[in-house]
Amino acid sequence: MPRYFFDLKGCHHERDDEGVICADLQSAVREAKKLLPVIALDEVPADGEHHAVTVLVSDEDGHVVYSGVLSFVGNWLIR
């Protein structure tokens, strides 16, 4: 089975050097989608109202095969 790598970008960048063995690309995409909200819990800065967390999925050859983004936008309705 192929190995996929999940690099994270947000407040900081984190490169995945180990990867995860997945049955296929669709399985890797599901893993990326599950990973985004978990990472966002720790990544949303307390002092900002706009933030995005990105996961880049790469195959064993280093080609990026999927990109997922979870965005946070807060708007104050009172001041």
Residue 7: the pLDDT is 97
What token pair was written down for 14?
């984190």
> Rounded to an integer, what is the distance from CA 36 to the centroid of its chain?
5
Residue 49: the pLDDT is 81
Residue 40: the pLDDT is 78
pTM: 0.85
43, 7 Cβ separation under 8 angstroms: no
Nearest residue to 71 (alpha-carbon basis) of 48, 50, 57: 50
Residue 15: the pLDDT is 94
Residue 10: the pLDDT is 79
Low-confidence ranges of the chain (pLDDT < 70): 44-46
Residue 23: the pLDDT is 97
